[in-house]
Structure 1
Amino acid sequence: MQIGGVDTYVATPDKTKSNGHVLLFFPNAFGLHINDFLTMDAFAACGYLTLGVDYFAGDPIWKHSQSPLNDPTFDFQSWKNKHMEFTDRIAAKWVKDVEAEYG
């Protein structure tokens, strides 16, 4: 699903368990991956609508290196610089868009 033009993982609670609260999930540099999906699904199982933003726009660090800080062939600084301004802007807008949609 997209919220405000940003890919978003949505973990929806069962209607009988929904508590009416929304959790915003911000992944680390490795982006959204299976452990994050399982975590968000667990929050949803507890009644929280859980939304995970892909603010790396499909370019998480794991696509470049499994150990980015110890990989001499990976330019971590360039990857970080590429995403810093973009992710800050995306995250702030996404939060406002989530509030407008689910507020």
Structure 2
Amino acid sequence: MLRSIFLDALKNLSGNALRSGLTMLGVIIGVAAVITMIAIVEGGQVWLVNSLERMGTNLLFVWKKRLTVEERQLFAGRNTELRYDDALAIQTRFPDLLVAPII
């Protein structure tokens, strides 16, 4: 019985050769597309992890925060920017720290 089913399937495949070929081509293209997308995603993940590792795990970035209306009134007339003197004061207090200004 299994043999007759197999022979019947082969006869149908050979009878509709164009349809069978196009179906196989579609399956091959679909599998190739999935494999390609997985490779792209994994490559992007590796690139991101390498970029983060190059940056280092011991970095600290300091930015000026946006002041609220109340804070602007409180600090009116005073400088609220980070200056080089501030970086030197931090470096004096924490000698293992390195300071690099970024514009």
TM-score by length of 2: 0.26
Which is richer in strand? 1
TM-score by length of 1: 0.26
Which is richer in helix? 2
Which structure has more relative contact order (CA 8 Å, sep 6+)? It is 1
